Amino acid sequence: MQFQKNNTLTKLTFKVGFLFYSKGDNQMTSDKLKQYIGLFGGMLGALYLALKASGIEVPFLMPDKLDAWQNFATSIVPFVIAIYGVYKNTYIIHSHSKAQEEYLKENNLK
């Protein structure tokens, strides 16, 4: 556990495993999310290579089983992106979207 004292801010930082939690800086940003995905992906890749080099075969990581998941991912990802695009471009879902649509109509922008 580590304490840092600034002029007006006292920041408490403690380490749990390999994750750092900081009081006052607990917002998940897209940059942090990308870093976490890279971290976990790299760790899983290193674990897989270590197991493979040791001669340990993991049955659920065989190519024929991974092909099914790859097909699933390549079909579901575009579908999710399309649904998200329709959701974000629809003016009838939220009240602030309806207000934006009215503003666009009043200013002849729609």
pLDDT tens-place string over residues 45-103: 898 888 888 988 877 777 788 888 888 988 999 999 999 888 887 777 778 778 888 89
Q: How far is CA 63 from CA 47, 53, 67, in A?
A: 17, 17, 6
Averaged over 98-110, what is the pLDDT?
A: 86
Query: What pLDDT band is residue 20 in, cutting at 50, 70 and 90?
Result: low
Specify the DSSP element, H or E, that contains 73. Answer: helix 63-88
Q: How far apart are CA 34 and CA 37, in angstroms?
A: 5
pTM over 0.95: no
Q: What is the model's pLDDT at position 24?
A: 56
Averaged over 27-35, what is the pLDDT?
A: 85
Beta bridge partners of 2: 13
Residue indicated by tokens 């939220």: 94
Q: How far apart are CA 62 and CA 17, in angstroms?
A: 30
